[in-house]
Chain A
């Protein structure tokens, strides 16, 4: 920070250059376009805030924001819970722990589209057959209602991302000084007390990181949404990213979609920044 001489800026230049080329400039362009009637090929009129005003009257867009928010809340809780659980599991002294780490992490390596199609098969065909065989009504008809579509998406993303979050927790878990735990053991602390008073406070920074990751990730989900439910039934499981793409390409309202994107950006940025701010405050320094 102190000596910002020429070499400092030169070092930074390639990153700043590419970042502004692929992110900053398109973002500003998009922001400008959201005030026009741009149709993807040309813009003829400057509309001011008209797109934004229409946006607040748009029930479908509101529904998609609400759906995404619900999804984000549930999956953030579930993912951190699962991630920490798996991390605790594989940091126990077990012969299979390395193997299990690999297994848990693996779903993360498969692309979201493929995952969506695989789980679509599981939800519809496998669940359907099992439900029919055992006479369990609840298992048939997955993805054909809003509720099952919602939980289908939650299950899919949890399955995919839990292993990734696990890795973050493992890193922090393994950094906990052994002497602290030993001392607690000598004092006669139970495993729950150890977890509550030592492990949990010390992995708090991991919580900050993974909460940020899961939050921003669950807000931005698109490919899983597309391949699993495609927004159906009747667009009720349509998340914001998908709603934006549909508005832009299917309904051919590029500028309007752009204004949706701007609002979406503001929401995600606000949520993510507040979250990091509060979590940072909570962390314990060793």
Chain B
């Protein structure tokens, strides 16, 4: 009898434990979907990569939700190219797939093809500027919508240049740049500078993606698709790349290998400790947060001298919005509607220009409203056709730019690898990956 009593006690304890487990797990699923969908509520999960616009984007989403009571939008932001790709993959692998997510170019498209909805019928795809869709176009299908345009180059401190008596118009060729850098270096005491450059060699995306891209893209005629199908790479402009890296390294704040993006932009450039940094228009918000006056009046962008492309700025579409085709039809439609609204409605357009400070990749925008000087300048470069298009690092073998080329460049900068080896090892890896 006694045994029996304790047996029942055990069983009842176990039952409670199991119930608790089951109770926890099921509350997520049944709660949202079944009850709310009966009231025509649609939930759209957005997973986006641009940390710079996180708050502004969330505010805009609230406006949309107010205008469309039936739609609930959840925004999740994970920043930095590298982290985003990994987190997105993890989200898909775990079955927690977002309805709207970002893809970078042909490699990403290939990987997520089964999930990508055709967006050719959206108003936004209609309005996209010529050439901004090539990376995600397949026959008549449009598998993504451009985020914005971005451009990068050497961002310089106007005040310092003025004080040193340098006219930016004069900087065209590499030799010009070299002379200017030497002039600045001689006067760095009087100008209050730590060094001329801040080269964030800790960031593989700066070395492997941005710097390298300028010297790789011309080899593929600035065409993403061509790079994506290339069996090999010659790194024809390798010497130019080396020359440019050496210049930045020599005149940079040291040690470069532990220098990261935030130190470069916030600590060094915004506080006017360096004269030039190689970055893009996305730094504007960070500089603005540190020193609004400097951001508005004190900075400009210069083109990096690449032989044959002097005076050109690399500009292109960094990322695309993709809609998850495997979601419910209603969710897919709601996602498309939201993206259309974002890029073609008046409210959306204003936000894109004024709050996100984007350089639009769509027609019918009022260029006068581009509020920050860097974007405006890049837009001007684009207007006169002085851009290097094709961000081919989105089309190289996965991970090649950062994990192979970027890492090898780091080895070179720290003196552990000869430049010849950087070139040959990087080519080898490309060929091995494309077999």
- A residues apposed to B, CB below 8 Å: 6-7, 10-11, 13-14, 18, 39-41, 123-124, 140-145, 230, 232-235, 245-246, 248-252, 254
Kindly report which residue of chain A lies nearest to residue B20, judged by CB atoms: A14
> Are B403 and A249 in contact (CB-based, < 8 A)?
no
CA distance A38 to B220 in the complex (A): 31
Nearest CB in chain A to that of B397: its residue: A251
Asked whether B410 is an interface residue with its Cβ less than 8 Å from the other chain, the reply is yes
Min distance, Cβ A224 to any Cβ of chain B, angstroms:
16
Decide: A232 near B93, CB < 8 A? Known: A7-B10, A14-B17. Answer: no
Name which residue of chain B comes closest to A13, CB basis. B14
Stretch at the interface among B32-40, B183-191, B234-242, B251-259: B251-259
Can you identify 16 A-B contacts, CB atoms within 8 angstroms? Answer: A6-B7, A10-B10, A10-B14, A13-B14, A14-B17, A14-B21, A123-B258, A144-B256, A145-B414, A232-B410, A233-B257, A233-B411, A234-B411, A245-B86, A248-B86, A251-B398
Which residues in B have their C-beta under 8 angstroms from that of A142? 258
Contact between A234 and B407, CB atoms less than 8 A apart: yes
Residues of A within 8 A of B111 (CB): 39, 41, 252
A251→B204 CA distance, assembly (Å): 14
Please report which residues of chain B, range 1-38, place their CB below 8 angstroms from some CB of chain A when the two chains form the complex: 6-7, 10-11, 14, 17-18, 21
Other-chain contact of A230, B201, B202, B255 (Cβ < 8 Å):
B202
Cβ of B254: which chain A residues have Cβ within 8 Å of it?
Answer: 141
Q: Mark B65-108, 1 if CB is under 8 A from A, else 0.
A: 00000000000000000100110011011000000000000000
Q: Which 8 A-B pairs have the closest CB atoms?
A: A249-B86, A251-B399, A144-B257, A144-B255, A234-B410, A144-B258, A141-B255, A233-B257
| Size of interface on B: residues with Cβ below 8 Å to A | 36
Distance in angstroms between the alpha carbons of A230 and B21 in the assembled complex? 37
* Closest B residue to A38 using CB positions: B93
Among residues of A, the one whose C-beta sits closest to the C-beta of B92 is: A41
Nearest opposing residue in chain A for B82, CB measure: A250
* B162 CB–A CB distance under 8 Å: no
How far is B263's CA from A124's CA once the two chains are assembled, in angstroms? 10
Taking CB atoms, residues of chain A closer than 8 Å to B14 are 10-11, 13-14
Q: A258 → chain B, closest Cβ, in Å?
A: 12
Cβ-defined contact, A141 with B82, below 8 A: no
A141 and B407 contacting across the interface, CB-CB below 8 Å = no
Interface 1/0s, chain B 207-238, versus A by CB < 8 A? Answer: 00000000000000000000000000000000
Q: CA of A140 to CA of B258 in the docked complex: distance in angstroms? A: 10
Q: Is B139 close to A, CB under 8 A? A: no
| Contact in complex: A249, B85 (CB < 8 Å) | yes
Q: Which of A10, A145, A249 contacts B90 (CB 8 A)?
A: A249
Pair B21/A18 contact, Cβ less than 8 Å: yes
Complex formed: what's the CA distance from A286 to B25 in Å? 48
Chain A min CB distance to B194 (Å):
11
Q: B193: shortest Cβ distance to chain A, in Å?
A: 16
Q: How far is the CA of A230 from the CA of B258 in the complex (A)?
A: 10
Contact B414 A233, beta carbon cutoff 8 Å:
yes
- B383 at interface by CB-CB < 8 Å: no
The residue of chain B having its C-beta at the shortest distance from the C-beta of A11 within the complex is B10
A154 to B403, CA, bound (A): 25
**Docked pose: A140 CA to B89 CA in angstroms:** 38
Q: Is the CB of B258 within 8 A of A246?
A: no
> Are B416 and A14 interface neighbours, CB within 8 A?
no
Query: Which residues of chain A are within 8 angstroms of B18 by Cβ–Cβ distance?
Result: 14
A18 CA / B17 CA spacing, docked (Å): 11
B394 located at the interface, meaning its Cβ lies under 8 Å from any Cβ of chain A in the complex = no
Do B258 and A141 touch across chains, with their CB atoms under 8 A apart? yes
Chain A positions within 8 Å of B407 at CB level: 234-235
* Complex contacts, A249 vs chain B, CB 8 Å: 85-86, 89-90
Given contacts A10-B10, A10-B11, A14-B14, contact A232 B257 (CB under 8 A): yes
Residues of A within 8 A of B278 (CB): none
Whole-angstrom distance between the Cβ of A221 and the nearest chain B Cβ: 18
- Chain A residues near B204 (CB-CB < 8 A): 232
Q: By the criterion CB–CB under 8 Å, are A7 and B257 in contact? A: no
Contacts of B132 in A (CB 8 A): none
Decide yes or no whether B402 CB sits under 8 A from chain A. Answer: yes
The answer to whether B92 touches A250 (Cβ under 8 A) is no
Q: Return chain A residues, CB-CB under 8 Å to B402.
A: 250
